[in-house]
Amino acid sequence: MAASMAAMMLPTAAPFFVAYGRSSRRAGPTAIVVAIYAAVWAAIGVAAFLVMSRIMLPSALWLAAGAIVFAALYGVTPMGRRGRARCREMCHEPAGDPVSSGLAYAASCVVCSAGVMAAVVILGMSNLALMAAAAAVVLLLKWPQRPTLQRGSLTPDGDVALSP
């Protein structure tokens, strides 16, 4: 369970790992960030395994539906939105200390994806299709956004672009 949780969440952090690696320009600090991130998710996987080994959840359609509704509702809570925003922001920040950067990003990621992770634990972590779908959802939630055009403008910063 620990390995599958870490394996599921590592690809979702790819935008941050790439941004951190570009900013630090060294493989060592980037490897430390990746290792810390994987270790945090492995620890969460161990905790989930321990909980699941003590509790037998009924396999009912209402429980599955409730888990999915919870994940969707959590995504729109202020905490879920803050975690998602922080994950996206960290992809644009310069590389800092690898230990603190790895822990900070992992913490933001835990907050961002808590609803999806709760649903995955309830629905079953042994289902590879479910794990892949959850990883895709979390990746989409955390994907860094490009600047959007301001209303009434032709450029992201609000200026009207003039042709030369």
Which residues span the domain enclosing 9?
2-142
Tell me what pLDDT residue 57 has.
63
The runs of H, that is alpha helices, within the chain are: 2-9, 14-24, 27-54, 61-75, 78-90, 98-123, 128-142
For residue 42, being part of any structural domain is answered with yes
Number of domains in the chain: 1
For the chain, the average pLDDT equals: 78
pLDDT surpassing 70 at residue 48: yes
**pLDDT tens for residues 95-105?**
788 999 889 98
The predicted-structure confidence for 49-73, as pLDDT tens digits, reads as follows 887 777 766 667 787 788 889 888 8
State residue 163's pLDDT score: 43
Q: Is residue 84 part of a domain?
A: yes
Predicted confidence (pLDDT) at residue 164 exceeds the cutoff of 60 = no
pLDDT of residue 56: 66
pTM over 0.85: no
- pLDDT for 1-20, tens place per residue? 667 777 778 788 888 888 88
Q: How far apart are CA 68 and CA 115, in angstroms?
A: 9
Please report the pLDDT score of residue 93 as a whole number. 80
125: in domain: yes
